[in-house]
Structure 1
Amino acid sequence: MKTTIKRQALAALTLAAPALVCAQSIENPEPDYYELDAVTITPLEQFSNRAIYGETPIAFSEVSKADLDTYLASQDIPMVLNYTPSVYATTQGGGAGDARINIRGFDQRNVAVMINGVPVNDMENGWVYWSNWDGVGDIASSVQVQRGISNLDLAVPSIGGTLNIMTDPAAKQRGGMVKQEFGSDGFSKTTVIGHTGLINDTFAASAAVARKMSGGYVDGVWADAWSWYVGASYKLNENNTIEFYGFGAPQRHGQNLYQRNIGTYSESFALGLDSYDPAALDRYYERGYAYNETWNYVDPDYDGLQADHHGIGPRRFPDYINERENFYDKPQVSLNWYFRPENSKWSWDNVFYYSGGEGGGTGTYGSVARVIDSGTYFHRNRDWNAQIAQNRANLNSEGLAESTGILRNSRNNQWTIGAISKVTFEASENWSTSFGIDWRTAEIQHFREVRDLLGGDYYLENGVQKGLGGTIDYNNTNTVDWLGGYFQAAYEKDAFSGFGMIGLSQISYSFEDFFRPLGNGQNYVIDSDDFDGMQIKLGGRYDINETVSMYANFGYVEKVPIFDNVIDDFTGRAYLNPPDEVFTNYEVGFNYIDSDGKLTLGANIYRTNWDDRAFSKSLRIEEDTDNDGVNDTVVFDEYVNISGVNQRHQGFELEGSYRFNKEFRLDSTLALNDWEYTNNVTARIPGLDTDLIPSEFDLYIEGLKVGDAPQTQFTTSLIYMPTSEMNFSARMRHNRDNYAAFDPLSRTDKTDTTQSWKAPDYTVYDLHMNWTLPTQTDVKYEVFASVLNVFDEKYVQDATDNDRFNSFDGDHDADDAAVHFGAPRRINAGLKIEF
């Protein structure tokens, strides 16, 4: 089947991408037309469910490799997606790899993140830890954001959307690249990439390694990271191709995990807010935007050793200690096999993968001294010198020093193996079908260990002396077993294309506590039931004419419960009646490309309902059986799941691009969203008598806005390309209606229906420049520079309403919010050499 396609159309409709890779010739501004087969994609792209322009009936945006090179500026990958509609990414506390992403009001637990078609969300709770994937931006060929139900055929809950990251395949041309970057706050990064090129028309390989160091823009938030990548392809014969991918990012970095009252950062900013009570500054006094209480200086003469996943050795810094540090290494390898029988209508794609992680995070254990000053207790730095002196003076009868407060590691060692297999069959010229299975199993070991005795000789845990590396507090192993399957059919004829998909999934969990032996070599073990989920997706697209097309889709998802709603792995107790949460999604959109290819537009409206959102809670109900005024009988004492909370996420998204001439182009996006809780809740526990549930479990949340991301967003980018070797970009993003996050279970007072605090609107500007220097050789030299937050805007990016440790008077005002401020002005610049 032949299709006439404008060259621009191949790049259009990614309108939210920072820099559309416009196919229109710089020298010849007139659009070119081609007769070509219907757009085809590589086996890896087909396997990974890459959406196709003009074909896939969903809302999506794509950041190309050129866009990543221009705009990422060595940030975490989610940050480059802030110029796509209804996507919000922040650096949180500023730690390297501590970014988070929100799509259409849903956090990462309800966003499927895929790398080369392999899901990387945490198997226990669905979260994504971007520090594990540091360096992926260097080797990614594209990043595609599919909003809503997405084009993903795996039976995984991609409710907010899907983030689909594709890495570079093995290059067919021999060569390489060296890139050196420098930036603010002591940032430096060196990246080296090499390609063998295609050898004997059968084999090609690529490899990359990068080294990153940074001091961080927040006190004590440094980074020390490596990353590596290997990609190889081998053509066995005309029908079989094998690809291998491996990547990892061993790293450690200081963290700034805690949000704080606005006055702790800046008195002037706080007093500039209408709802901030000046009296709060007597409790939360100013410490500066870079303040981080989870580190402090220590006497360099203290030479105590520390334990981590590499063993026991000296501290990284002789003159200060981080209370909060993350250290982890989670490599992932996959083997892809693509079977394409000659002259056949069917194909078979397989991937077998392994990911193994080792490391954890640090914190204090026991009682550790804080600096004595007039500030709020929880906003004081640790006094390491005082604690070391205290531990050294606490001698037992044998003359050994018993530590009363220490540093600990919370360890998370894990492995995951999985396989995905898909068969596609072209039933006729118009019909195609596919079906597949997705199997995964994971084991995750959680334990705490002594990291630093802070001057002591041991820590006493349940009467046992623990030295460096000794296991304390908890020691358990969780397992997760997942099995999914799907069937999909697609139809295409003339101006119409559509698809339907049904997916089934089953998951089960287990928990083993090594601190609760039962005798005979057995430990306390819990095995969960099997939990079943289902999803249905339907979508269709119709080309009205050569310039306008319409699409619509529908999705229904029954999401299986996550581990945290099935077993409490701190107490080892199972929750009663873990429910499936239900999502329904409706979406209608259109795309427009004008006749000369200068203007492209895409718009859509969507509505996603989240019903029976589950919350875990402990419930104890007692009864006065002898009527003496004192409860003396426990009627119910269990860990339960509370359901009945419903949310509605709906909105309008617009993205467009206009090319004024061969030098100037303007890209813009707009998102107008309305995310809120739709009902007050008489809390219910499935399968239990509601008369047993105490009234304080009733929730008064109807009409309250869902927080944690701005509901109104506008971005625009002006791109100037005076030549094909030079690119200048000025970009702006404006966010508003960012309601502070809050726990719906906290709204139990029927007289308290005030919205959570709304953070101030803000606008941030970025500048980017790339220039490929003219040379007379095959070696290319490119200089580049980025200035992020050009005007050093001070703004609140994350907020929590009525925070437990930061609320002044608890009435949902600015003085009750805990916040993270956005990153200040930063510069990233460097030189790239390609050969």
Structure 2
Amino acid sequence: MKKLTTIIQLSIFSFLLNFSKKVLLRISYCLLITVNSFLFSVQAQDSTKIRELNEVVVSSTRANQKMGMAFTNVYQKDLKKLNLGQDMPFLLNQLPSVVVSSDAGAGVGYTGIRIRGTDPTRINVTLNGVPYNDSESQGTYWVNMPDFASSAQSIQVQRGVGTSTNGAGAFGASININTLSYQQDAYGETNFTVGSFNTLKTNVLASTGLLNNHFVVDARLSKLSSDGYIDRASSDLKSFYVSAGYYGKDNFVRFNAFSGKEKTYQAWEGVPESLLTTNRTFNPYTYDNQVDDYQQDHYQLISSFKINQKWTFNPTLHYTKGRGFYEQFKEQDKFANYGLPNVVIGTETIKKTDLVRRKWLDNDFYGITYSFDYHSGKKFTANIGGAWNKYDGNHFGEIIWAKNTSTANIRYRWYESNALKTDFNIFSKAYYQVNDALNFFADLQYRTVSYDIKGTADKRQDITQKTDYQFFNPKFGVNYQLDKSSSIYASYAVGNKEPSRQDFIDNAPKSPLAENLQDLEFGYRLAGQTFSFDANFYYMNYKNQLILTGQVNGVGEAIRVNVPKSYRAGLELSASWKFAPKWQLSANTTFSQNKIKNFTETVVNYDGDADKINKFSKTDISFSPNLISGGQISFSPTKNLEFAWLSKYVSKQFMDNTSDDNRSLNAFFVNDLRASFSIKPKIVKELTFSLLVNNLFNHLYESNGYTYSYIYDKQVTTENFYYPQAGTNFLLAVKVRL
């Protein structure tokens, strides 16, 4: 034990040396004040009590069985079975209404998740209640936190608007991750994975267990690498997680520090449709350092104070530092695009040059989240919570090499801007148990957003603007217990959401409108000993939803525009059945319709004439399949051996909003096989071997893509690009626990 504790202490000390002095002093000061407040006589702790203290931090933003909302809980034991190296979205692939994709094709590097057809900018992600979505793009970049699932204790995925939470408004789902795990006894663990495409994963985890009935330190160090299925789509990922906590009788404080460093070769452009059958792994980028290079560091000071028998206060301070760039080789780009003069050599004027450029992002995100929890007997409970968060982001582009220009222009910045975003919200939730069967809840949130941009963007256009938003998001629900194992529920929720940074840039000087969503849900739950079943109907009515126009901006990103009316309606079914002592079957299916009442497509005319305008009515929303199904059957012939067959079906998806079959992704049906075997030899506590074979039948499919059309030389041309996913591939892992 002493040796293990010393190793962890040395690791933490080495880690702290890398802090900036300013940040370290502030965090240490806050930690010292909080710890001092606990220096009073306490009783010995038990593991159940500490788990309850950990869970109270995230309970204010999580749904429960009595809230009339659709959600799924995923626990650590379930994550471990799949966590062999792929990113978080792929570990959640079997959940209802989920579709995942990977730029590199194998689930490592840049990955994405859609829930109910909504993209990552509309999926609210929190880590211990702290917002994780990028404040400006509002997307979630899982590549910046590799192997984070190894530190996750539990994950709750709420579908629809969900409960009031912190950060960007949820328009498709919320993913709430809790890392506050607790182990009563000290342990050490290492995991090693080898797989297709030279995929390697190594991590080391350790914990002191509970020291002197009060203290605990957990740590993790991870490294992942992969060549990717797509040519040159390599990933080099590193991360660590350190958590130190003190637990009193009814109070605790915990300091988390975790970081992710990623370097991925770009595979963003996709594969042209013409090459899908002849060269599915094509990557147009060949420049050696065409990479995305980014690091993100997170610091959280989490605490819970029991004020009296009825009130508990849970404050969290947080700070995130992000910095990095992506580098590009540009062939024969115009000097004028960068505000540079043409090069004159004798009588020759050179207007274009080969160059290498970097687009930088350097940002700080900090703030406080909190909740006051009130418990008054069994009939009434309430939460009052909220957050104040500040984002300060610098964007700039640098030319680091050019073939035809003077060295004086190296490191020349052709654009630079700063963005300040302040996000404040306060919410109140109340639960009232009318009788043994009937329960009501109400959830009211007020949120303000102030967004101030100054400077220029990529095309050197002035994007200076300031916008303020005020949102009111009420939610109401009722739950009725039919008997001990079944219940029915209904809820109505309102969500409002501000546009992203790119929406402001693409629509400048006119600002896009905020989006509004009214979400109606009805459901039935059955939770038996061997059989469980959930049915949930939803109707999500949007006002001013931002959808793809069919146009692209100067750097190839899809442009979005508000549409007055659109909706998503669906039926989600899920069931689990233990039909024999050694057999378990689970499945889920979502049937849906996703429509825009009226949509106008703009086809850019490069001949100089007027753009072509096409009008559509009741057309399908892009990337919203009408049918999504997942299933798993597992067999455990012995206690230490398990086999599982996993299946996923996703119907046709349109890549734009025209419902044109020529701009769509084909339906796909993929099957995976998972096996694990554990033994407990005398020399270690546990030795586990795991095998995951993905896409067992080598099905060729694409799970993501994009399309755009234009007019040139009097002809309308449509370009389709796809992100092919890997054929049959495997991951083989071994875990050693001491």
The TM tier, using the shorter chain, reads: 0.7 to 0.9
Residue identity opposite 2:86 in structure 1: Q
Cα distance in 1 between the residues matched to 2:289 and 2:645? 37
Q: In the superposition, relative to structure 1, how do residues 225 and 403 fare at CA in structure 2: closer, same or farther (>3 Å)?
A: farther
Cα distance in 2 between the residues matched to 1:817 and 1:395? 40
Aligned-partner SS, 2:197: coil
Q: In the superposition, relative to structure 1, how do residues 574 and 53 fare at CA in structure 2: closer, same or farther (>3 Å)?
A: closer
Q: In the superposition, relative to structure 1, how do residues 593 and 513 fare at CA in structure 2: closer, same or farther (>3 Å)?
A: closer
Query: Does structure 2 retain, via aligned residues, the 8 Å contact 1:704–1:755?
Result: no
Alignment partner for residue 538 of structure 1, among 476, 483, 494?
A: 476
Are 1:448 and 2:390 an aligned pair? Answer: no
Cα distance in 2 between the residues matched to 1:652 and 1:212? 38
Cα distance in 2 between the residues matched to 1:425 and 1:790? 51
Alignment map for 1:240-639 (pairs within 5 Å): 240-266=251-277, 286=278, 288-295=279-286, 321-323=288-290, 325-342=291-308, 344-365=309-330, 367=332, 404-453=353-402, 456=403, 459-460=405-406, 465-467=408-410, 470-492=411-433, 493-513=435-455, 526=464, 528-566=466-504, 575-576=509-510, 578-594=512-528, 597-614=529-546
Q: CA deviation at 1:564?
A: 3.6
Indicate the larger mover: 557-566 or 788-797: 557-566
Q: Cα deviation per residue 1:646-691 (whole Å; 9 max; x = unaligned)? A: 22101011111111211111111111111111235699xxxxxxxx
Cα distance in 1 between the residues matched to 2:365 and 2:592? 37
Q: CA deviation at 1:362?
A: 1.5
Q: CA deviation at 1:57?
A: 2.1
CA RMSD of aligned residues (A): 3.4
Q: In the superposition, relative to structure 1, how do residues 699 and 586 fare at CA in structure 2: closer, same or farther (>3 Å)?
A: farther
- 1:689 alignment partner in structure 2: none
Query: Does structure 2 retain, via aligned residues, the 8 Å contact 1:206–1:231?
Result: yes
- 1:184 alignment partner in structure 2: 196
Cα distance in 1 between the residues matched to 2:120 and 2:454? 27
Q: In the superposition, relative to structure 1, how do residues 580 and 540 fare at CA in structure 2: closer, same or farther (>3 Å)?
A: same
Alignment map for 1:652-691 (pairs within 5 Å): 652-680=571-599
Cα distance in 1 between the residues matched to 2:508 and 2:711? 30
Q: In the superposition, relative to structure 1, how do residues 577 and 216 fare at CA in structure 2: closer, same or farther (>3 Å)?
A: closer
Query: Does structure 2 retain, via aligned residues, the 8 Å contact 1:645–1:681?
Result: no
Query: Does structure 2 retain, via aligned residues, the 8 Å contact 1:534–1:559?
Result: no
Q: CA deviation at 1:63?
A: 2.4
Residue identity opposite 1:361 in structure 2: Y
Alignment map for 1:69-108 (pairs within 5 Å): 69-94=80-105, 96-108=108-120
Query: Does structure 2 retain, via aligned residues, the 8 Å contact 1:155–1:503?
Result: no
Query: Does structure 1 retain, via aligned residues, the 8 Å contact 2:649–2:669?
Result: yes
Residue identity opposite 2:71 in structure 1: F
- 1:791 alignment partner in structure 2: 697
Query: Does structure 1 retain, via aligned residues, the 8 Å contact 2:516–2:542?
Result: yes
Residue identity opposite 1:667 in structure 2: S
Are 1:825 and 2:728 an aligned pair? Answer: yes
Cα distance in 1 between the residues matched to 2:633 and 2:526? 20
Residue identity opposite 1:719 in structure 2: S
Residue identity opposite 1:466 in structure 2: N
Aligned-partner SS, 1:70: helix
- 2:606 alignment partner in structure 1: none
Q: In the superposition, relative to structure 1, how do residues 756 and 557 fare at CA in structure 2: closer, same or farther (>3 Å)?
A: farther
Cα distance in 2 between the residues matched to 1:220 and 1:681? 38
Q: In the superposition, relative to structure 1, how do residues 340 and 144 fare at CA in structure 2: closer, same or farther (>3 Å)?
A: same
Cα distance in 1 between the residues matched to 2:393 and 2:167? 22
Alignment partner for residue 621 of structure 2, among 706, 717, 724?
A: 706
Query: Does structure 2 retain, via aligned residues, the 8 Å contact 1:93–1:258?
Result: no
Alignment partner for residue 59 of structure 1, among 63, 66, 70?
A: 70
Residue identity opposite 1:726 in structure 2: L
The answer for unaligned runs of 5 or more in structure 1 is 1-36, 267-285, 297-320, 370-393, 517-523, 620-639, 684-693, 748-752
Cα distance in 2 between the residues matched to 1:615 and 1:221? 29
Q: Cα deviation per residue 1:593-631 (whole Å; 9 max; x = unaligned)? A: 34xx221111111010111224799x9xxxxxxxxxxxx
Q: In the superposition, relative to structure 1, how do residues 788 and 113 fare at CA in structure 2: closer, same or farther (>3 Å)?
A: same
Q: In the superposition, relative to structure 1, how do residues 96 and 563 fare at CA in structure 2: closer, same or farther (>3 Å)?
A: same
Query: Does structure 2 retain, via aligned residues, the 8 Å contact 1:93–1:259?
Result: no
Q: In the superposition, relative to structure 1, how do residues 49 and 809 fare at CA in structure 2: closer, same or farther (>3 Å)?
A: farther
- 2:79 alignment partner in structure 1: 68
Name the structure with the higher strand share. Answer: 2
TM-score where L is the length of structure 1? 0.73
- 1:378 alignment partner in structure 2: none
Query: Does structure 1 retain, via aligned residues, the 8 Å contact 2:709–2:717?
Result: no
Query: Does structure 2 retain, via aligned residues, the 8 Å contact 1:116–1:165?
Result: yes
Are 1:733 and 2:648 an aligned pair? Answer: yes
Q: CA deviation at 1:701?
A: 2.8
Query: Does structure 1 retain, via aligned residues, the 8 Å contact 2:594–2:624?
Result: no
Residue identity opposite 1:528 in structure 2: K
Query: Does structure 1 retain, via aligned residues, the 8 Å contact 2:71–2:159?
Result: yes
- 2:340 alignment partner in structure 1: none
Overall identity of the aligned pairs, in %: 21
Cα distance in 2 between the residues matched to 1:251 and 1:759? 29
Query: Does structure 2 retain, via aligned residues, the 8 Å contact 1:708–1:799?
Result: no
Q: In the superposition, relative to structure 1, how do residues 429 and 85 fare at CA in structure 2: closer, same or farther (>3 Å)?
A: closer
Q: CA deviation at 1:196?
A: 1.0
Alignment partner for residue 651 of structure 1, among 566, 570, 574?
A: 570
Q: In the superposition, relative to structure 1, how do residues 790 and 644 fare at CA in structure 2: closer, same or farther (>3 Å)?
A: closer
Cα distance in 2 between the residues matched to 1:87 and 1:809? 38
Q: In the superposition, relative to structure 1, how do residues 265 and 451 fare at CA in structure 2: closer, same or farther (>3 Å)?
A: farther
Q: Cα deviation per residue 1:268-294 (whole Å; 9 max; x = unaligned)? A: xxxxxxxxxxxxxxxxxx3x1111011
TM-score where L is the length of structure 2? 0.83
Indicate the larger mover: 642-651 or 199-208: 642-651
